[in-house]
């Protein structure tokens, strides 16, 4: 009997890569999406060597709908029955006020965090419905619960992820499919480095004085939701470091 298949977007770094390692360690077959062929191939080779699992790299940017459609449409027959979709690909750029944002950067954030998620959902969920089996796990954020200074566009996209997750759960209520929204607080990955456009000092200051979550923490949480009994739907998980209370309130040691 073949092991289940999980498709992870944005799999070559941060939470996506941590998910790849976690699911591989549990014997899943992996379809790993990313934008960099060398990093995808290197990750596949490491996972295969470590766990002996089957890994299929899928090279495309989730913002590129025709490329996504082509890649998913060309999946070999033995890879088409995706059991779990982890809509992980996401980012934030800048901390400007809403009226000062670079609209080109806002397009990148919206196209990745919202439209990319919608594209992957549209491409994979109909097959799950046909097979009457599947789980969609979306990466939201505590930022989707309330806006914070310098993050209005990003917060809006993560509020959209919550709405899309809730709406999909409603649309699938008469099926065995499950929908989960994972909402992390502070997680130390390349996320802040991307937000601050490569400024390591500013990125490091985000986590100074407290112990943030790690990508592995989030991957373990995602797997926990995925591994729940088939009749259990973990709709939403908010996961924070112990010294964070909300998106804007955290205690930092001197």
Query: What pLDDT is attached to residue 2?
Result: 76
Dihedral of the CA atoms 93, 98, 103, 108 (nearest 10)? 40
CATH 3.40.30.10 fits 5-239, yes or no: no
The residues assigned a catalytic role are 154
Query: What pLDDT is attached to residue 1?
Result: 63
d(Cα 24, Cα 12) in Å, to the nearest integer? 14
Give the Å distances, CA to CA, from 142 to 78, 101, 219, 244: 37, 21, 16, 11
Is there a contact between 179 and 163 (Cβ–Cβ < 8 Å)?
no
Question: Bridge-partner residues for 55, per DSSP?
Answer: 30
Q: What are the residue boundaries of the structural domains of the chain, listed by start?
A: 5-239
d(Cα 39, Cα 29) in Å, to the nearest integer? 18
Q: In what order do the strands lie in the sheet containing 135-139?
A: 55-59, 29-34, 5-8, 84-87, 135-139, 178-184, 236-239
pLDDT of the chain, 254 residues: tens digit per residue: 679 999 999 999 999 999 999 999 999 999 999 999 999 999 999 999 999 999 999 999 999 999 999 999 999 999 999 999 999 999 999 999 999 999 999 999 999 999 999 999 999 999 999 999 999 999 999 999 999 999 999 999 999 999 999 999 999 999 999 999 999 999 999 889 899 988 899 989 999 999 999 999 999 999 999 999 999 999 999 999 999 999 999 999 98
pTM of the predicted model, to two decimals? 0.96
Which residue, among 64, 66, 65, 20, has the nearest Cα to 40 in the 3D structure? 20
d(Cα 4, Cα 63) in Å, to the nearest integer? 26
d(Cα 86, Cα 226) in Å, to the nearest integer? 10
């Amino acid at each position: 009997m073949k092991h289940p298949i999980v498709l992870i977007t944005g799999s070559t770094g941060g939470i996506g890569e941590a998910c790849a390692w976690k699911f591989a360690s549990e014997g899943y077959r992996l379809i790993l999406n990313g934008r960099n062929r060398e990093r995808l191939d290197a990750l596949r080779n490491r996972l295969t060597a470590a766990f002996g699992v089957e890994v299929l790299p899928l090279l495309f940017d989730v913002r590129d709908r025709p490329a996504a459609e082509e890649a998913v449409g060309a999946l070999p027959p033995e890879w088409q029955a995706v059991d779990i979709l982890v809509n992980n690909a996401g980012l934030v750029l800048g901390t400007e006020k809403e009226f000062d944002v670079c609209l080109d950067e806002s397009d990148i954030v919206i196209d990745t965090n919202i439209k990319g998620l919608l594209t992957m959902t549209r491409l994979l969920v109909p097959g799950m419905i046909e097979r009457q089996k599947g789980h969609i796990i979306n990466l939201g954020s505590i930022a989707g619960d309330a806006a914070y200074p310098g993050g209005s566009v990003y917060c809006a996209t993560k509020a959209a992820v919550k709405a899309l997750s809730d709406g999909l759960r409603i649309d699938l209520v008469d099926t065995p499919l499950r929908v989960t929204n994972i909402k992390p607080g502070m997680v130390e990955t390349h996320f802040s480095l991307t937000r601050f456009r490569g400024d390591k000092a500013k990125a490091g200051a985000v986590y100074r004085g407290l112990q943030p979550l790690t990508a592995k923490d989030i991957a373990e949480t995602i797997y926990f939701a995925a591994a729940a009994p088939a009749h259990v739907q973990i709709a939403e998980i908010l996961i924070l470091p112990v010294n964070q209370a909300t998106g804007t309130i955290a205690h930092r040691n001197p």
